[in-house]
Structure 1
Amino acid sequence: MGKFIMNYFLVFQNKSYEEERKGGYLWAPQKNKNGQTFHHWTDMTLIKKGDIIFNSFDGKLVSVLTAQANFQEHERPTGLEQLDLWEKDGWLVNVKYSDLEEPITYKNYMEDILTLQDDKYAPFNKSGRGNTGYLFRVSKDLANFLFERIERTNPVLRRKFQIEDNLQLETVKQIEDELNSVTTLKKTEKETIIKSRIGQSAFKKALLTIEKKCRLCGVKDERFLIASHIKPWSESDNQERLDVNNGLLLCPNHDALFDKRYISFDETGKVMVKKSLDATTKTFLNISENMRINLDERQKIYMKWHRAKFLQNQLEVSLQM
């Protein structure tokens, strides 16, 4: 039996979302009225049972779809008759929709998305707008990034997909094959990376051995603590991804502020707050310029990277005003 390799896609469903959502499927025509076909239709034939499709509707990631079977040839389903620009013959994939409680707006993360997506058959163009079409391919790096965003804002859905444990996003064997080319890694390092690729629970557990509460507000309930990378996972090398010094335990409010670089910390650990945050917002999010955290020497190195990005964002906002 061949090795299972999961593929990832993103579907733009603006015209057909309600009908396809209600019917539990995706459908694309084989040709248009002029007999033409396009990769964003023919890529439906790449979908296999177990593949993941990120759903886009009205500029937001609103659902994560799991293919329940391989693609099949299928006439245009009842309910899509209004899309008369297409021929009746098409491809259909039965999918399970898992809706996000808090949809994710792509434009808020477009810089990262454009960096992580592949150059060819990608969902977004260089200006950050969705490419015209239906189904597009998603790289593994972009898929991991999107799941990181889901984990931060939709923890229940993240658990539903069992990302932290054993969802077959990537099999252990597949990850081992990828790491075999990295000769500089020790066996123990490879094993840790495998755990981190299946989920980042190992990173959080490592942080919990050092600290037991949010660095800023003191929340202790582990269900509401997020292991936040100072230098993001997507921009770190393998060693940095595993380095416990590249992390802070934060509550959801403070993690969101830190992740989006509305706050950072100076060399002494004193919080730096983005000027655009008004007094009311700071009060509700429990952030104050008087807050301070302790940073060891290695954490200060990572924080210097984060601070530079924070200051760059401040400068860019000032120039736009």
Structure 2
Amino acid sequence: MNYFLVFQNKSYEEERKGGYLWAPQKNKNGQTFHHWTDMTLIRKGDIIFNSFNGKLVSVLTAQANCQEHERPTGLEQLDLWERDGWLVDVEYSDLEQPITYKKYMEGILKLQDNKYAPFNKSLRGNTGYLFRVSKELANFFFEIIEATNPFLRKKLQTEDNLQLENIKQIENDLNSIIILEKTEKETIIKSRIGQSAFKKALLTIEKKCRLCGVRDERFLVASHIKPWSESNNQERLDVDNGLLLCPNHDALFDKRYISFDETGKIMVKQSLEATTKMFLNINDTMRIKLNERQQNYMKWHREKFSEN
């Protein structure tokens, strides 16, 4: 998943109403710029932070890959641009409390990349349309959003409480079949709390448990392949370092009682008895799809699985 920030000062009303982003391929002089051509980098599920009048007002989710598209109806007044352009269908999630960037500019400048970044050292947005956002800066934005938007914060706290209830249930279930040290239980709990942004990102690309198909979001856990405690900041937010799993399968995966080989076929610890596997809904024929980056993370997980 990639992250971007769009400055929509000229076309916000039209694009917001139409549910899209659009940038020209060239201006009237035949020139093009990276903040237009970067539209082609957007893929379905990517996140775009929306800036209007100096504030973060919405978080957008790409509903499809970028496509070539003529200038949409409603943008005719912007006649400095040619008709050919790039379009991305997006879903707008508006913030109750827009965020003023200047209040957080010190942190923003530290976390954004040096190249193609949205803001400059003059504490202003760079001239242009679409800019790249580092995963560290995206995480920073999500933290600010959760802290400043009461409704969203309440919603996320509710999700965290549900996750904690699920984890307590997992502890009870596992205690009947697996002996866990106190520090190990604490690790499981801590790894589930405060990761709402990571779960939201995963939910944009998959909607159910990878193994059993449970779809109720209240009972889906954003499970890190390489654990939060052992990952760097980039790895913690990388959706390729995650799987959506139901509580049962997440607990088994977290404790490395299951893993997956290079083809995505499940690997199960021999110490799990047939009855245990039946109650926890796992069998040796299960298989999941893994992309190349997930396979790299899974290699790490598989090595730890073999050590146990």
- Contact kept, 8 Å, 1:166 with 1:198, in 2: the verdict is no
- Contact kept, 8 Å, 1:59 with 1:105, in 2: the verdict is yes
Letter in structure 2 aligned against 1:157: L
Specify the SS of the correspondent of 1:44: helix
In the alignment, the residues of structure 1 paired with residue 130 and residue 72 of structure 2 have an alpha-carbon distance, to the nearest angstrom, of: 18
Is 1:71 matched with 2:66? Answer: yes
In the alignment, the residues of structure 2 paired with residue 136 and residue 116 of structure 1 have an alpha-carbon distance, to the nearest angstrom, of: 14
**Runs of 4+ displaced beyond 4 Å:** 169-175, 191-199
Letter in structure 2 aligned against 1:112: G
User: What do the CA deviations read for 1:243-262 (whole angstroms, capped 9, x no partner)?
Assistant: xxxxxxxxxxxxxxxxxxxx
In the alignment, the residues of structure 2 paired with residue 39 and residue 49 of structure 1 have an alpha-carbon distance, to the nearest angstrom, of: 20
Is 1:135 matched with 2:130? Answer: yes
**Identity within the alignment, %:** 75
Following superposition, the deviation at residue 188 of structure 1 comes to: 8.6
In the alignment, the residues of structure 1 paired with residue 112 and residue 75 of structure 2 have an alpha-carbon distance, to the nearest angstrom, of: 30
Following superposition, the deviation at residue 126 of structure 1 comes to: 1.0
Following superposition, the deviation at residue 28 of structure 1 comes to: 0.1
User: What do the CA deviations read for 1:259-284 (whole angstroms, capped 9, x no partner)?
Assistant: xxxxxxxxxxxxxxxxxxxxxxxxxx
Letter in structure 2 aligned against 1:107: K
User: What do the CA deviations read for 1:223-252 (whole angstroms, capped 9, x no partner)?
Assistant: xxxxxxxxxxxxxxxxxxxxxxxxxxxxxx
Specify the SS of the correspondent of 1:168: helix
TM-score w.r.t. structure 2 length? 0.54
Aligned equivalent of 1:207: none
Following superposition, the deviation at residue 197 of structure 1 comes to: 4.9
Specify the SS of the correspondent of 1:166: helix
Following superposition, the deviation at residue 154 of structure 1 comes to: 1.7
Following superposition, the deviation at residue 22 of structure 1 comes to: 0.3
Where does the alignment leave 5 or more consecutive residues of structure 2 unmatched? Answer: 160-194, 206-221, 240-308
Letter in structure 1 aligned against 2:16: R
Matches within 5 A, 1:212-231: none
- Contact kept, 8 Å, 2:136 with 2:233, in 1: the verdict is no
Is 1:23 matched with 2:18? Answer: yes
Following superposition, the deviation at residue 194 of structure 1 comes to: 10
User: What do the CA deviations read for 1:141-174 (whole angstroms, capped 9, x no partner)?
Assistant: 10000000000012533647x7527223599798
In the alignment, the residues of structure 2 paired with residue 194 and residue 63 of structure 1 have an alpha-carbon distance, to the nearest angstrom, of: 23
Where does the alignment leave 5 or more consecutive residues of structure 1 unmatched? Answer: 1-5, 177-186, 200-321
**2:145 paired residue among 123, 136, 150:** 150
Matches within 5 A, 1:72-91: 72-91=67-86
In the alignment, the residues of structure 1 paired with residue 150 and residue 17 of structure 2 have an alpha-carbon distance, to the nearest angstrom, of: 24
Matches within 5 A, 1:92-107: 92-107=87-102
In the alignment, the residues of structure 2 paired with residue 97 and residue 39 of structure 1 have an alpha-carbon distance, to the nearest angstrom, of: 24
Letter in structure 2 aligned against 1:21: R
CA pair 198-154 structure 1, distance change in 2 beyond 3 A: farther
In the alignment, the residues of structure 1 paired with residue 235 and residue 151 of structure 2 have an alpha-carbon distance, to the nearest angstrom, of: 20
CA pair 33-198 structure 1, distance change in 2 beyond 3 A: closer
Following superposition, the deviation at residue 70 of structure 1 comes to: 0.3
User: What do the CA deviations read for 1:60-116 (whole angstroms, capped 9, x no partner)?
Assistant: 000000000000100000000000000000000000000000000000000110010
User: For this pair of structures, how many residues does the alignment match?
Assistant: 183
Aligned equivalent of 1:190: 230
In the alignment, the residues of structure 2 paired with residue 59 and residue 194 of structure 1 have an alpha-carbon distance, to the nearest angstrom, of: 27
Following superposition, the deviation at residue 189 of structure 1 comes to: 3.3
In the alignment, the residues of structure 2 paired with residue 197 and residue 87 of structure 1 have an alpha-carbon distance, to the nearest angstrom, of: 37
Letter in structure 2 aligned against 1:48: R
Specify the SS of the correspondent of 1:112: helix
